[in-house]
A and B are shown apart, each in its own frame.
Chain A
Amino acid sequence: MLAYVAKRLVLVAPVVLAVALVCFLLVHIAPGDPLVSVLPPDASAELAEQMRRAYGFDRPLPVQFAMWVWNALHGNLGTSIATGRSVVEEVSRAVGNTLRLACVAAFLGFVFGLLFGFLAGYFRGGVIDRLVTTIAITGVSMPHYWLGMVLVIIFSVQLGWLPAVGAGPGGWAWDWEHVTHMILPAVTMSVIPMGLVTRTVRALVGDLLSQEFVLALRAKGLSKVRIFVHVAKNAAPTILAVLGLQLGYLFGGSILIETVFSWPGTGFLLNSAIFQRDLPLLQGTILVLALFFVLLNLVVDILQAAIDPRIKRS
């Protein structure tokens, strides 16, 4: 087991490097001089040179990359051009908010997805199955940012029950005021994962129930509960993988929902970084999000291997 973990860690290193490279290059394929967003339009050539050197834009690209990686490894992702605060500071403030939202959304999506998926798989072909499948397909086909708007229309504008924007005043706290701010965005974000988990669980449960070993178990006289436990254990690795993937997507793709609800998370940060052409902030945010995704995948892989012995040997 330990050997498997070690192997995966070794394999992940080049991926991390490649991810860093892509993050770095992404920003440098942008047209236009990055300095433009910082300097006043009538800046002197001298000032421009000074700023250029200060931000390191005058060095050749590979050197810039090396510098950037070196700094990153020391916890320094540069300074935001727009706000002047360190990128790390900005990102760590936002990460907490996004993590909270993503986890709650993932939890909701997972729980309901599991429930619906299991019902549909167990009662395959019945009315429940069709209903659930319809809900699942709807969930997956829905532009979630639009759903967010619709929910805001219903629950904020028309009914006035829930707030439409923001995460509540001040820092985060798990009090009623803040939680009401979280309800709509979390529900909105949970819809796509719920759709996917439902589909997967339904297919898995249906598949497993019809497999021969379940027939064999039934023939042995096992009670329904015990069969359920067997099925669950067999389904666990795949479900785990889907869950992990969803969490990753939620975290990385939260920008749309956070924009709709003005939720102060990494997605929102990304948005402002893009529009203000704040390159250090942009680079730093993308890097953190992407690395988180890689880390999540790694953890899911290892957990899967721990549960499913077949994977360890491959």
Chain B
Amino acid sequence: MSAIADDIVRVAVVEKARGYWTDVGRRLVGDPVSVVCAGVLLLIMAGAIFAPYLGLADPYQGSMIRRLRPLGTAGYPLGTDELGRDMLSRLVHGGRLSLLIGLVPVGLAFVIGTTLGIIAGYVGGLLNQAIMRVVDVFYAFPAVLLAIAISGALGAGIVNSVLSLTIIFIPPVVRVAESVTTSVRGLDFVDAARASGAGPLTIMRVHVLGNVLGPIFVYATSLISVCMIFGAGLSFLGLGTKPPEPEWGLMLNTLRTAIYVNPWVAALPGVMIFTVSICFNLLSDGMRSAMDVRD
């Protein structure tokens, strides 16, 4: 994760403002890979949001007679799971929880991490040391281990998963935010703002925030795919969503024993996780290239 952070810091000091974001947008739209990924993601997200209205089978309704039907069965295009529930419906509905667990922790970590990082970067001194040392302690743990440990301690459940994932993503965001803020802080226009007599909060809001949010945001988006994988992983271990909710990670867990009977149905939820993850990764890369302007 840190190699990416170094790239981000180099992009940090922006030379252009107006027209900058439209330029970025234009470049993004012109990149076929980014467009395809964005399209796929929008499709999946739309499916997740409108799932109840799409006329699909009931994702909770199963029948033991119809369990583990293969792909292409009449009426069940993607087969059925180990309790006879329609896979297509469960996959589409599963998107709701899976995307939630993948996006919300990153969103929360973005907000909390950016705030802490900007304060640490701007104020400097002891406060900076205090915040960054605490962050270092979290870096002393491998992320997966920490997430599992926290989830394990708190117990299974979506809320606990989101909580533990948020906690492990705050430190990297704080690091990037602090780094970018420190480099912006040293620029003359911040000194000029201080010389006008403005207080630190005003300066952070007016002068620092706008110049710092972009790179941090791009970095945060690169974390989404990791969060999706970790989140589904927690459910896979039984630490996340509880049955009978449809969620891709949990589905992988319950379908594990089914690989001997109907392997391809068992593998389907993973396909969803993989697709969403790689699309977010490619999109994030595309955004970074679009922002990394060198004239």
Contacts and interface: CB of A to CB of B under 8 A. Distances in A.
A and B directly contacting (CB within 8 A): yes
Interface of A: 15, 18-19, 22-23, 26-27, 29-31, 137-138, 140-147, 149-150, 152-153, 157-158, 199-200, 203, 242, 248-249, 251-253, 255-256, 259-260, 270-271, 273-275, 282, 286, 289-290, 293-294, 297
A18 B3 contact: no
B277 A143 contact: yes
Contact of B229 (A143, A158, A297): A143
Contacts of A293: 140-142, 145
A55 B154 CA distance: 21
Q: Is the interface of A mostly helix, strand, loop or mixed?
A: helix
Nearest to B256: A149
Contacts of B260: 157
A290 B237 CA distance: 20
Given A22-B141, A138-B278, 10 more contacts: A15-B136, A18-B140, A26-B150, A146-B269, A150-B270, A153-B263, A200-B3, A248-B142, A249-B143, A252-B141
B236 interface: yes
A146 B237 contact: no
Contacts of A200: 3
A146 B267 contact: yes
A158 B260 CA distance: 9
Given A253-B143, A286-B149, A22 B274 contact: no
B161 interface: no
B270 A22 contact: no
Interface string B254-295: 001001100110110110011001101110010000000000
A19 B141 contact: yes
Contacts of B267: 146, 149-150, 153
B198 interface: no
A141 B281 contact: yes
12 contacts: A22-B141, A26-B153, A29-B154, A137-B282, A138-B278, A141-B280, A146-B269, A149-B259, A150-B267, A150-B270, A256-B233, A286-B145
A260 B238 CA distance: 12
B148 A270 contact: yes
B150 to A, nearest CB: 7
Contacts of B239: 274
| Main SS class of interface, B | helix
Nearest to A260: B256
A294 B154 contact: no
B137 interface: yes
B225 A141 contact: yes
A158 B263 contact: yes
Contact of A149 (B142, B152, B266, B278): B266
Contacts of A140: 225, 281
A29 B150 CA distance: 9
A290 B145 contact: yes
A22 B139 CA distance: 12
B142 A253 contact: yes
A18 B263 CA distance: 45
A207 to B, nearest CB: 11
A259 B256 CA distance: 11
A15 B252 CA distance: 37
Given A15-B136, A30-B154, A274-B239, A255 B229 contact: no
Nearest to A249: B142
A26 B167 CA distance: 13
Contact of B137 (A15, A143, A248, A255): A15
A120 to B, nearest CB: 15
A146 B270 contact: yes
Identify the 7 closest CB pairs spanning chains A and B, nearest first. Answer: A252-B142, A146-B270, A253-B144, A141-B278, A274-B152, A153-B263, A252-B145
B221 to A, nearest CB: 13
B252 A157 contact: no
A157 B259 contact: yes
Interface string B216-246: 0000000001000100110011110000000
B155 interface: yes
A19 B266 CA distance: 39
Contacts of A142: 229, 274, 277-278
A157 B263 contact: yes
Contacts of B238: 275
Nearest to B285: A137
Contacts of B152: 270, 273-274, 282
A203 B143 contact: no
B240 to A, nearest CB: 12
Contacts of A27: 153
A145 B232 CA distance: 10
A256 B236 contact: yes
Contacts of B232: 143
B100 to A, nearest CB: 17
Contacts of B278: 137-138, 141-142
Interface in B65-95: none
A187 to B, nearest CB: 16
Contacts of B229: 141-144
B174 to A, nearest CB: 16
A143 B233 CA distance: 8
B256 A15 contact: no
A265 to B, nearest CB: 13
Contact of B236 (A26, A141, A145): A145
Contacts of A30: 153-155
Contacts of A143: 229, 232-233, 270, 273-274, 277
